[in-house]
């Protein structure tokens, strides 16, 4: 398609990315800041931490007497780096752990050692029991250090509305108004925690109780009806059964039909790029395994669209938005950083591409998504950090959070990408991959557009020309690129800085900006407008 013809196809209000052939390795991108639309919820760039393997203990909680630098027992490096990316929220304490957690075990001076859901999945000889050293006050301390919103996952599977409501009162009742508030004050926090986000169980179709949609809907109604109203709660219902392409519309439909009109604020959708049924490894892989992971990851878009449609059939007003409170690449076991760090895995450039592709999808569907939480932030499935005692590294995924930070709270900008698709090998065949994928936003109060792009090709860079449509002109532009000559590159304790962002220099000329995007790369551009 000739450049003039391509630009004619651009619809002013389109918030879609389309891929069209231009000439090999050339891309035409048009952004329309004058038509900026919905605000991208900062909460989309959120986190999930669970009492699982080395996530909490050693990952985050090193203890007050540790030689590792800490703030009241919390690993200082973790706090510093999470602040750098503006972590907006933390989901805790699970995951599957949540439906076995009794909050009283984690408060006060003398704490019991208890059973942990993940204990039976911990290798022989490793103590996987729960020491309860990190509980409600320690979690809230972490949230306050980060200025992140707490998102509690309540225990529905092995608890009662009574126990749950007591936890809410303990957290949120003003000092002096309830015995539980006095107890909180005696434990060091006079001021209420003001927790708004409450998950009503986790995966209640599975580890959270093995329920049917109608059974769970009844629990949801009981847990939320007599809710202590110290704050305006944001309730998240357990979302669809399954983890990826098998995600089941029947749960979503059944749940919504049985709620009696009591629709939640959020539906907790879990989407893992689940590689466990394959032999694809996290750290070493072939080109077709690179593309297989990226292709499976991008399929989250279809899941979002289908479930949004199903929810809309029962509640056309769409009171409920998605809380994608677990997402990430989940590889088969065997590459953990140590036996007690179950589910930990190396992260490579491939996972950085996957992260960028996922965030661009979330941004483009921002009106459907209230929150998302990567699973899990440290020492786990799709982690930003790996930590083992005094060793600590940022993975390539961390840098994507950093590069995409400007999208948080910005307005989504219509963007059209004209880039040649290419054919890529995957498991069992080939697929068409987009030449580039991405999203754009207008920063609030600033005349600046952020554009993020991923180039999944393992062989070709892309020369992109970005045009500002609707009368705007670029005054200056700067960029950052995350790439490496080796697709398998990742950061390890021995080579902590192998994959790190580098500056990228776009060229401004009138109403357009040109930039060379390397192969296998994530790019973030900031274009200042006049």
Residue 202 binds ligand AHR (CB under 6 A): yes
For 232-359, where are the E strands, in sequence order?
A: 234-238, 266-274, 321-330
Q: How far is the CB of 56 from ligand AHR (least distance, A)?
A: 12
Considering only the stretches 91-99, 192-200, 432-440, 468-476, report the one whose residues sit in contact with ligand AHR under the rule CB under 6 A: 91-99
Q: How far is the CB of 387 from ligand AHR (least distance, A)?
A: 17
Residue 161 binds ligand AHR (CB under 6 A): no
> Among 130, 326, 336, 402, which one carries the catalytic annotation?
326
* Residue from 46, 73, 93, 95 in contact with ligand AHR (CB under 6 A): 95
User: Comparing C-alpha atoms, which of 250, 240, 311, 249 is closest to residue 272?
Assistant: 240
Residue 326 binds ligand AHR (CB under 6 A): yes
Tallying the residues shown for the chain, one arrives at 530
* Residue from 159, 204, 376, 491 in contact with ligand AHR (CB under 6 A): 376
Residue 203 binds ligand AHR (CB under 6 A): yes
C-alpha span between 138 and 186 (Å, rounded): 15
95 preceded by a cis bond (ω within 30 of 0) = yes
Residue 239 binds ligand AHR (CB under 6 A): no
Active-site residue flag, 163: no
C-alpha span between 407 and 449 (Å, rounded): 9
- Do residues 506 and 426 lie in contact, with contact meaning Cβ atoms separated by under 8 Å? no
Considering only the stretches 276-284, 374-382, 453-461, 495-503, report the one whose residues sit in contact with ligand AHR under the rule CB under 6 A: 374-382
Q: Which two tokens stand for residue 458?
A: 């393992």
Distances from the Cα of 120 to the Cαs of 128, 158, 331, in angstroms?
A: 8, 17, 20
Residue 352 binds ligand AHR (CB under 6 A): no
Q: How far is the CB of 236 from ligand AHR (least distance, A)?
A: 13
Q: How far is the CB of 297 from ligand AHR (least distance, A)?
A: 16
* Residue from 211, 294, 361, 375 in contact with ligand AHR (CB under 6 A): 375
* Residue from 53, 54, 93, 94 in contact with ligand AHR (CB under 6 A): 94
Considering only the stretches 23-31, 36-44, 89-97, 498-506, report the one whose residues sit in contact with ligand AHR under the rule CB under 6 A: 89-97
Tell me the CA end-to-end span of the chain in Å, nearest whole number: 31
> Which position's Cβ is nearest ligand AHR?
95
Active-site residue flag, 301: no
Residues in the interface with ligand AHR (CB under 6 A) total 10
Q: How far is the CB of 326 from ligand AHR (least distance, A)?
A: 5
Closest to ligand AHR by CB, 94 vs 420, is 94
> Positive or negative, the Cα torsion across 179, 184, 189, 192?
negative
Residue 411 binds ligand AHR (CB under 6 A): no
Which position has the token pair 């690179």? 290
For 413-468, where are the E strands, in sequence order?
A: 415-418, 422-426, 429-433, 437-442, 448-455, 462-468
Residue 50 binds ligand AHR (CB under 6 A): yes
- Do residues 196 and 232 lie in contact, with contact meaning Cβ atoms separated by under 8 Å? yes
Closest to ligand AHR by CB, 329 vs 450, is 329
Q: What residues have CB less than 8 Å from 122, skipping those under 6 apart?
A: 53, 128, 339, 340, 342
User: Comparing C-alpha atoms, which of 16, 137, 54 is closest to residue 377?
Assistant: 54
C-alpha span between 3 and 464 (Å, rounded): 12
Q: Which residues pair with 450 in a beta bridge?
A: 441, 526
> Among 203, 219, 336, 402, which one carries the catalytic annotation?
203
Q: How far is the CB of 155 from ligand AHR (least distance, A)?
A: 13
Which position has the token pair 């000889």? 125
Q: How far is the CB of 161 from ligand AHR (least distance, A)?
A: 21
Residue 32 binds ligand AHR (CB under 6 A): no
- Do residues 169 and 228 lie in contact, with contact meaning Cβ atoms separated by under 8 Å? yes
Residues found near ligand AHR in the complex (CB under 6 A):
50, 94-96, 202-203, 326, 375-376, 381
Catalytic residues: 203, 326
């Amino acid at each position: 398609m000739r450049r003039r013809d391509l630009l004619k196809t651009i619809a002013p209000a389109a918030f879609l990315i389309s891929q069209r052939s231009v000439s090999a390795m050339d891309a035409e991108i048009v952004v329309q800041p004058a038509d900026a639309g919905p605000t991208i919820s900062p909460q989309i760039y959120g986190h999930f931490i669970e009492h699982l393997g080395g996530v909490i203990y050693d990952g985050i909680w090193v203890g007050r007497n540790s030689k590792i630098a800490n703030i009241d027992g919390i690993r200082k490096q973790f706090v510093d780096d999470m602040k750098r990316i503006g972590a907006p929220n933390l989901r805790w304490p699970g995951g599957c752990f949540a439906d076995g957690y009794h909050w009283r075990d984690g408060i006060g001076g003398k704490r019991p050692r208890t059973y942990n859901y993940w204990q039976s999945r911990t290798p022989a000889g490793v103590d996987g029991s729960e020491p309860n050293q990190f509980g409600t006050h320690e979690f809230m301390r972490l949230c306050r250090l980060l200025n992140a919103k707490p998102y509690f996952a309540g225990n529905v599977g092995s608890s009662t509305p009574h126990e749950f409501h007591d936890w809410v009162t303990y957290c949120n009742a003003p000092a002096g108004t309830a015995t539980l508030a006095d107890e909180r004050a005696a434990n060091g926090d006079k001021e209420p925690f003001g927790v708004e986000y409450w998950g009503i169980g986790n995966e209640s179709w599975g580890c959270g109780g093995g329920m049917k949609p109608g059974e769970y809907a009844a629990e949801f109604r009981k847990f939320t009806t007599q809710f202590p109203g110290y704050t305006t709660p944001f309730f998240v219902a357990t979302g669809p059964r399954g983890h990826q392409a098998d995600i089941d519309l029947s749960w979503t439909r059944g749940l919504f039909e049985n709620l009696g009109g009591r629709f939640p604020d959020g539906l907790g959708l879990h989407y893992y790029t689940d590689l466990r049924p394959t032999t694809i490894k996290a750290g070493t892989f072939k080109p077709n395994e690179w593309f297989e992971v990226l292709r499976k990851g991008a399929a989250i878009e279809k899941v979002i669209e289908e479930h949004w449609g199903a929810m809309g059939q029962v509640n056309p007003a769409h009171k409920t938005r998605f809380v994608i409170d677990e997402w990430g690449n989940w590889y088969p076991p065997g590459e953990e950083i140590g036996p007690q760090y179950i589910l930990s895995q190396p992260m490579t450039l491939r996972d950085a591409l996957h992260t960028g592709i996922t965030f661009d999808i979330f941004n483009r569907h921002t009106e459907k998504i209230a929150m998302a939480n990567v699973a899990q932030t440290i020492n786990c499935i799709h982690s930003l950090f790996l930590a083992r005692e005094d060793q600590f590294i940022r993975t390539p995924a961390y840098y994507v959070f950093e590069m995409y930070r400007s999208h948080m709270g910005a307005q989504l900008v219509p963007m059209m990408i004209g880039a040649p698709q290419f054919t890529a090998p995957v498991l069992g065949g080939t697929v068409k991959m987009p030449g580039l994928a991405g999203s754009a936003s207008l920063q609030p109060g600033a005349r600046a557009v952020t554009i993020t792009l991923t180039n999944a090709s393992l062989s070709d860079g892309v020369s992109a020309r970005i045009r500002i449509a609707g009368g705007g002109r670029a005054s200056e532009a700067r960029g950052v690129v995350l790439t490496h000559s080796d697709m398998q590159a990742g950061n390890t304790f021995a080579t902590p800085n192998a994959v790190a962002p580098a500056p990228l220099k776009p060229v401004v000329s009138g109403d357009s900006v040109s930039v060379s995007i390397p192969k296998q790369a994530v790019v973030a551009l900031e274009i200042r407008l006049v």
